[in-house]
A = this chain, B = another copy of it.
Amino acid sequence: MSAAYHSLAEKHREIALIQSTSSILDWDQETNLPRKALNYRAEQLSYLSGKIHQLSTSADYQKSLETAENAGAADTLQKANLREWRHQFDRSQKLSQNLVERDSKTCTLAKSAWIEARKQADFSLFAPHLSKLLELSKEKAQRWGYQDEAYDALLDNYERGAKTKDIVRIFSQYEPELEQLASAAVAKSQHSAARSLKGSFPIASQIKLNQQIAESIGFDFDAGRIDTTTHPFCTTLGPQDIRLTTRYDETDFTSSLFGVMHEMGHGLYEQGLRSSDFGLPSGTAVSLGIHESQSLLWEAHVGRSPSFWKHWLPCAQELFPQLQDWSLEEFLNTINQARYSYIRVDADEATYDLHIMLRFDIERRLLNNELKVDDVPAAWNERFEKLFGMQPESDAQGCLQDIHWAMGGLGYFPTYTLGNLNASQLFHAATQKPEIQKAFNEANFSPLLDWMKTHIHSLGSVYLPQDLMLQATGEATTSAYHLAHLKQRYL
């Protein structure tokens, strides 16, 4: 290792120490913070992010980066790290201090306006903020630069190396088939009378079941934990400290359970990263589309499968005696119902990606000046009607439902669909191995987890997402495997 590379890596380890400290403060804010402590916590966080900004954009940093690049990389890992550091540094250099501050201020105001607008179901309260955020997104895209369209530059924030034209290509193959499939799945669910799971499920028993399941799958509780928050999330507070959260609904134990399965998928990815490279790209998850593939793999492919419940339904029945007369088939039928719904986060597997396509289309038209902000609700409702055969009763159920735009996150949504497609494609590739498939019969998912560790987790950001998919599955992301999965599950 060159001294120059070593010194640059040390700078990044220092940044990671501050970044992970900041994550501890964030986690504590979500789980524990007393109400009046919020202001000082914001000061602590802002102090730490100032330090990170300083360390990662200084002239001294730039010099270290150049020196390390000139010294050259000794191996694949170093090469990948230098590639990612250069990429991050160039992008951060292209934004002026002034733009970053305007952006942060606009987001803060937009977020509280969005909360109010959603509460009152009044888009006009949010529209001026969305206009400003759109202008800022365009400005950022111009500064970052792109080949085909502005959306490319934003997408790269979340899905390293992805291009809009690739998303368009994938979506245009996927959408007509998905529309048909969703329609058939919803019709089928309507005709099969599903038993209701609603009942009384003591939270202590839910916690016990979730813990048993997470442990059995391989989440390491010596290097992580599960807590309770309003919105479930997964965060990394150190190389061996991965925290999941979920929320509990006393009337439905599957709500917290699928929350845990989802966040645990993220957590297993984080626990599977090369911990000696914590804070370096080679020890960091590569993209949202890959991250989401891991959460969906465990939530949907494992957590909603017959082999999983063949083992776990009897355990649930012991903890929740009211389930004792449920057959496995009845239970699977109930948890795998398809129906059209207004809210993305409540959607099932069969209809989820329709929600994403609608959003991707609107975002792209906004950025390409083909749609005005004031016309967003009408465009939303028209498209919704076409996809779902119904219209939201208000914008709170429609274009105001998600926080992403209010946080300046244009370009984020497509990664959810990439996650769905990647999950199915990876699951298909892994289950080509007979021993992985066979272990499912004993509800043993360790061979599946090992495969993910080898082909995804341990590789960090060494390869760009599409190269990673290619190496792991032999193909770039395609919708074929997800469509096949949905067909098998719903039809």
Contacts and interface: CB of A to CB of B under 8 A. Distances in A.
Nearest to A51: B51
B32 A238 contact: no
A235 to B, nearest CB: 12
Nearest to A48: B21
Residue from A20, A24, A222, A278 whose CB has the most chain B CB atoms within 10 Å: A24
Contacts of A224: 34
A238 B48 contact: no
A220 interface: yes
Contacts of A364: none
A404 to B, nearest CB: 29
B21 A223 contact: no
A416 B80 CA distance: 58
Given A28-B28, A41-B241, A241-B41, A223 B36 contact: yes
A464 to B, nearest CB: 28
A241 B40 contact: yes
A460 interface: no
A280 interface: no
Interface in A423-448: none
A204 to B, nearest CB: 10
Contacts of A32: 225, 227
B24 A28 contact: yes
A459 B48 CA distance: 30
A52 interface: no
B278 A40 contact: yes
A33 interface: yes
Nearest to A278: B40
Interface in A68-82: none
A470 to B, nearest CB: 33
A407 interface: no
Interface string A223-255: 111010000000001111100000000000000
Given A24-B24, A238-B40, A239-B40, A47 B223 contact: no
A278 B44 CA distance: 13
Interface string A12-44: 001001101100110010001111110111011
A34 B278 contact: no
B223 A37 contact: yes
A62 to B, nearest CB: 23
Contacts of A221: 34
B17 A43 contact: yes
A36 B240 contact: yes
A22 to B, nearest CB: 9
A314 to B, nearest CB: 29
Contacts of A21: 21, 25, 44, 47-48
B14 A238 contact: no
A237 B41 CA distance: 9
A25 B24 CA distance: 7
Given A28-B28, A37-B238, A47 B225 contact: no
Nearest to A28: B24
B239 A34 contact: no
Given A21-B25, A47-B14, A222 B40 contact: no
Nearest to A20: B44
A152 to B, nearest CB: 37
29 contacts: A14-B47, A17-B43, A17-B44, A17-B47, A18-B47, A21-B25, A21-B47, A24-B25, A24-B28, A24-B44, A28-B28, A32-B227, A33-B241, A34-B221, A34-B222, A34-B224, A34-B225, A34-B240, A36-B223, A36-B241, A37-B223, A37-B237, A37-B238, A40-B238, A40-B239, A40-B240, A40-B278, A41-B238, A44-B238
3 closest A-B pairs by CB: A37-B241, A40-B238, A36-B240
Interface of A: 14, 17-18, 20-21, 24-25, 28, 32-37, 39-41, 43-44, 47-48, 220-225, 227, 237-241, 278
